[in-house]
């Protein structure tokens, strides 16, 4: 534990209240001049991440893959794809990160593999082989159509015909991502062996990708239509309630087995990604009773088109700290969701808005996850159709959120041709607006978003209340959200003006209150909340 950390945090598991920095490796730093980020590139920037003041990193998939879904289609769970480096590079990354006091969390994709995985090659070869039931296979209906009406996230039916077995196989995403049959104990055992492989190499935890897609209704019951409530879907997937192709009761029991494995290696962190309409209920189930996942996050903020006090309160009110309850995590943006500065701010002052939103994320009860570039205030990049790489964006153009705009290269140096990410043309273009606010310029500017986030993270480490304390909301006029974070006798008041106009309001603080990080709202006795103002103060 850092000597500058609150002494109250001694004995608390390292992950509880930790700030995690998400790295999308393709777009972080390119070390070998091929236009794609890699593990050595990440190693070269670990000092930057440590100086930022976070507690650990989460690295999106770097495993062997044909890259049809950019790593989320795994062909070998226990090796590094050559485009990212080698296992030796990964071992060096672990050693370097740990030397800097950073924990390392990696993705695990347990719902599906690539169709090039050896397991699938063997499964599709025969209906009677050793791995014949390792994936979800089903006969056609008498008229040759798919077994049921399930639809894939990326468009079209969740079933693809395979002439080798004369059956359909299931896929919730791309046809090249066949669904694993996690009802099979042998499949579960194989995945747990994968977990042990990486834990033995020193990883500090796992983020489980789309884990509520990991099991299906074995009766293959049709999904019912969804009440669209006047919305106009952009893909067939959105027309259904997904009560049979995901969110099955066996998933929490599998997560108990995952937890048993991680506990074999000491204190490790596990966080579940839980998309979907019933995310809160599933997050609670997946993290219950300290015997499943440590934490979970949903898409409350990731796909939200606006940021309002009501949304924030509704999300946090689901986590009251009752006995047996897990611990939430929060992301405002990630590799799957458009950057929040573009979704939420009104265009008047993106720098002030980015400072405010970063501070808000760091004050929520739970684990804040900062997606690479959020500490710079990056907006969603504009990508021309001819430059798109994301299969979902291409399939649903132009009626899609698109993921490429959040996956463009990290801008390190404003004056370099490709913003310091690479010396050659990157796999996705560098947006000019990103290069203008690159890391080097922000480090030199004491008023930058980056310098502000670094200062806020340093202050947060000194406050146990901000890290693990409870939360109590305070009445405030819209668009201000205000709450207390408390732990024992420590109380921290947090207030944020989410809007771009001043608001008359008197914070419930006495004149002796001290702001943790100075802002335009540092005077706690002022009756005016400045635009995008932040007030975080000790009572």
Cis before residue 444, ω within 30 degrees of 0?
no
- Any bridge partners for residue 169, and if so which? 137, 160
Indicate the helix (H) or strand (E) that contains 461.
helix 449-461
Q: 394 to each of 76, 267, 378, 388, 404, how far by Cα in Å?
A: 26, 41, 23, 7, 10
Distance CA 167, CA 117 (A): 19
Tokens 């290696």, residue located: 265
Q: Spell 324-361 as b/e; 16+ CB within 10 A means b.
A: ebbbbbbbbbbbbbbbbbbbbbeeeebbbbbbbbbbbb
Q: Which phi-psi region, left, alpha or beta, contains residue 474 (left: φ > 0; alpha: ψ -120 to 50)? A: beta
495 beta partners: 482, 535
What is the spatial distance between Cα 228 and Cα 46, in angstroms, rounded to a whole number?
45
The strand pairing partners of 55, in sequence order, are none
Taking each continuous run of H as one helix and of E as one strand, the counts in the chain are 15, 20
Which tokens hold the place of 33? 């001049």
Q: Is 189 designated active site?
A: no
CB neighbourhood size of 40 (10 A): 17
User: 463 with 365: CB under 8 angstroms?
Assistant: no
CA–CA gap between residue 50 and residue 366 (Å, rounded) = 21
**Burial class of residue 221 (count of CB atoms within 10 Å of its CB; 0-12, 13-18, 19+):** middle
Q: Among the options 264, 281, 290, 436, which is catalytic?
A: 264
CA 244 to CA 9: how far, in whole Å?
A: 42
* DSSP 8-state secondary structure symbol assigned to residue 21: E
Active site residue 264: yes
Interatomic CA distance for residues 247 and 213, integer angstroms: 6
Residue 89's φ and ψ, nearest 5 degrees, are -60, -40
Alpha-helix residue ranges (DSSP H) falling in 53-172: 87-99, 118-125
Report helix, strand or coil for 259. Answer: helix
Separation between Cα atoms, residue 520 and residue 539, nearest integer Å: 18
Q: Are 430 and 422 in contact (CB under 8 A)?
A: no
Given the residues 89, 115, 209, 404, select the one marked as catalytic. 209
Which residues are tagged catalytic? 209, 264
């Amino acid at each position: 534990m850092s000597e500058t950390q609150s002494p109250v945090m001694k004995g608390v598991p390292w992950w509880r209240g930790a700030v995690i920095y998400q790295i999308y490796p393709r777009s972080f730093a390119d070390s070998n001049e091929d236009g794609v980020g890699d593990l050595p590139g990440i190693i070269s920037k670990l000092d930057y991440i440590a100086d930022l003041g976070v507690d650990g990193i989460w690295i999106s998939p770097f495993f062997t893959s044909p890259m049809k879904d950019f790593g989320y289609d795994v062909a070998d769970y226990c090796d590094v794809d050559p485009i990212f480096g080698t296992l030796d590079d990964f071992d060096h990354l672990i050693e370097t990160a740990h030397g800097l006091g950073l924990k390392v969390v990696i993705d695990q994709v347990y719902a599906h593999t690539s169709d090039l995985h050896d397991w699938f090659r063997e499964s599709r070869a025969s209906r009677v082989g050793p791995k014949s039931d390792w994936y979800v296979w089903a006969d056609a209906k008498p008229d040759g159509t798919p077994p049921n009406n399930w639809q894939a996230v990326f468009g079209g039916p969740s079933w693809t015909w395979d002439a080798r077995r004369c059956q359909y196989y299931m896929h919730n995403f791309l046809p090249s991502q066949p669904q694993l049959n996690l009802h099979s104990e042998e499949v579960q055992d194989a995945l747990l062996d994968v977990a042990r492989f990486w834990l033995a190499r020193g990883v500090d935890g796992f983020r489980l990708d789309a884990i509520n897609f990991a099991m299906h209704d074995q009766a293959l019951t049709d999904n019912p239509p969804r009440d669209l409530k006047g919305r106009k879907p952009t893909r067939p997937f959105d027309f259904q309630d997904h009560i049979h192709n995901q969110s099955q009761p066996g998933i929490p029991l599998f997560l108990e087995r995952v937890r048993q494995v991680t506990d074999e290696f000491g204190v490790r962190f596990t966080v579940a990604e839980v998309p979907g309409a019933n995310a809160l209920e599933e997050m609670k189930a997946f993290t219950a009773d300290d015997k499943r996942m440590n934490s979970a996050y949903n898409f409350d903020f990731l796909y939200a088109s606006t940021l309002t006090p009501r949304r924030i309160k509704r999300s946090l009110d689901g986590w009251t700290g009752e006995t047996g309850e897990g611990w939430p995590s929060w992301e405002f943006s990630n590799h799957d969701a458009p950057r929040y500065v573009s979704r939420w701010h009104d265009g008047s002052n993106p720098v002030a808005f980015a400072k405010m939103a970063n501070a808000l994320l760091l004050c929520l009860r739970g684990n804040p996850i900062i997606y690479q570039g959020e500490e710079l205030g990056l907006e969603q990049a504009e990508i021309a159709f001819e430059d798109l790489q994301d299969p979902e964006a291409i399939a649903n153009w132009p009626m899609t959120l698109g993921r490429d705009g959040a996956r463009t290269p990290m801008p390190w140096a404003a004056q370099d041709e490709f913003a310091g990410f690479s010396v050659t043309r990157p796999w996705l273009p560098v947006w000019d607006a990103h290069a203008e606010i690159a890391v080097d310029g922000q480090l030199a500017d004491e008023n930058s978003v980056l310098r502000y986030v670094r200062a806020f993270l340093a202050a947060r480490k000194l406050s146990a209340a901000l890290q693990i304390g409870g939360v109590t909301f305070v009445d405030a006029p819209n668009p201000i959200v205000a709450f207390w974070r408390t732990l024992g006798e420590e109380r921290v008041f947090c207030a944020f003006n989410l809007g771009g106009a001043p608001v008359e309001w008197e914070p419930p603080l006495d004149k002796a209150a001290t702001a943790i990080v100075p802002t335009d709202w540092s005077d706690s006795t002022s009756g005016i909340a400045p635009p995008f103002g932040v007030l975080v103060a000790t009572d």
